[in-house]
């Protein structure tokens, strides 16, 4: 906690180079979906991968009582999605839903595998990408096991602001328009707990909410809420 927060957000970006993206665009088809659209569902055959050009997508599972649990993170523009399921088992285990309007390149499994065979460099990059996500998933497991809810919420806010926040007077603005229920599903808690905790953060002037947009005012103090 005292030491620099270097590894606070583990395994973050690792983006594709523009050349790599171009390779994918060349063999794929560009499509657009409106906000709210479900891109793929659990149990479907995983026969394609996606490169997100614009917008954000949430990867989640459905629990038996209908709760949506965000097991991966939110996928940002420039990231790929649907990799693990397509490369490994062939069937989706997650849902992917568009948080905003999105534009993405769709590539069939076959074409993608062919591309990987031709372009070693890209293949290595994809492997690294999975490795980065692997670390992130392991960190998530650790946090769920060892941390209390307030710490997990604080870290989530910091992560999101780092990855998709835009600077705004006095802080970083998060324009994803997530509901408290969405947030609860990302950190393994309930809607009510998120509501009251966010209000605590507001009272302490760590964050500010207007409508469904959250602005991080004091990331440093927010970090101090992270206790193991």
Q: Is 62 in the site for DNA (CB under 7 A)?
A: no
Q: Does 88 bind its own copies (CB under 8 A)?
A: yes
Nearest to 152 by CA among 187, 204, 203, 194: 187
Kindly state whether residue 28 participates in binding its own copies, applying the rule CB under 8 A.
no
Selection from its own copies, DNA, none that 123 binds (CB < 5 to 8 A by kind) is its own copies
Task: Please state the closest distance from residue 129 (CB atom) to its own copies, in A.
Answer: 8
Determine the Cα–Cα distance for residues 5 and 13; give it in Å rounded to an integer: 16
Residue 5 touches which of DNA, its own copies, none (Cβ within 5-8 Å per kind): none
> Does 37 help bind DNA (rule: CB under 7 A)?
no
Q: Which does 127 bind (CB under 5 to 8 A by kind): DNA, its own copies, none?
A: its own copies
Q: What is the DSSP letter of 91?
A: B
Q: How many residues lie near its own copies (CB under 8 A)?
A: 46
* Binding of DNA by 192 (CB under 7 A): yes
Instruction: Read off the DSSP letter of residue 17.
Output: P
Quick check: 217 binds DNA (CB under 7 A)?
Answer: no
The three-state secondary structure class of 32 is strand
What residues numbered 55-84 form the site for its own copies, per CB under 8 A? 61, 63-65, 67, 69, 71-72, 83-84
Distance CA 79, CA 13 (A): 8
The answer to whether 120 contacts its own copies (rule: CB under 8 A) is yes
- Of residues 7 and 22, the one with the C-beta less far from its own copies: 7
Dist CA 204 CA 51 (whole Å): 39
Query: What would the two tokens of residue 67 be?
Result: 């709760």
Find tokens 């990855």 and name the residue. Answer: 163
Partners of 40 in beta bridges: 96
Contacts of 195 (CB under 8 A, 6+ apart): 180
Region label for 82, one of left (φ > 0), alpha (ψ between -120 and 50) or beta (otherwise): left
Single residue of 9, 15, 27, 123 touching its own copies by CB under 8 A: 123
Kindly tell me which of 54 and 89 has the beta carbon lying closer to its own copies.
89
Residue 108 falls in which region: left (phi positive, over 0), alpha (psi -120 to 50) or beta: beta
Q: Report d(CA 172, CA 215) in Å as an integer.
A: 5
Task: Summarize as ranges the residues that interact with DNA (CB under 7 A).
Answer: 148-150, 179-181, 188-193, 195-196, 198-199, 209, 211-212
Task: Summarize as ranges the residues that interact with its own copies (CB under 8 A).
Answer: 7, 10-11, 14, 61, 63-65, 67, 69, 71-72, 83-85, 87-89, 93-94, 113, 116-117, 120, 123-124, 126-128, 130-135, 137-142, 144-146, 188, 228
């Amino acid at each position: 906690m005292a030491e620099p927060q270097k590894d606070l957000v583990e395994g973050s970006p690792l983006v594709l180079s523009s050349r790599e993206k171009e390779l994918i665009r060349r063999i794929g088809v560009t499509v657009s979906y409106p906000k709210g659209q479900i891109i793929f569902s659990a149990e479907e055959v995983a026969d394609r991968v996606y490169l997100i050009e614009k917008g954000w997508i949430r990867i989640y599972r459905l629990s038996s009582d209908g709760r949506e649990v965000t097991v991966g993170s939110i996928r940002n523009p420039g990231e790929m999605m649907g990799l693990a399921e397509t490369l490994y088992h062939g069937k989706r285990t997650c849902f992917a839903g568009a948080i905003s309007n999105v534009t993405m390149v769709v590539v069939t499994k076959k074409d993608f595998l062919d591309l990987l065979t031709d372009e070693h460099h890209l293949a290595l990059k994809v492997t690294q990408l999975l490795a980065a996500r692997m670390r992130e998933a392991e960190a998530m497991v650790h946090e769920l096991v060892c941390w209390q809810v307030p710490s997990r919420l604080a870290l989530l806010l910091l992560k999101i602001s780092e990855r998709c926040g835009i600077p705004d007077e006095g802080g970083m603005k998060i324009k994803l328009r997530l509901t408290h229920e969405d947030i609860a599903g990302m950190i393994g808690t309930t809607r009510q707990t998120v509501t009251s905790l966010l209000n605590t953060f507001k009272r302490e002037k760590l964050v500010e909410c207007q409508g469904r947009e959250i602005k991080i005012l004091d990331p440093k103090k927010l970090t101090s809420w992270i206790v193991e």
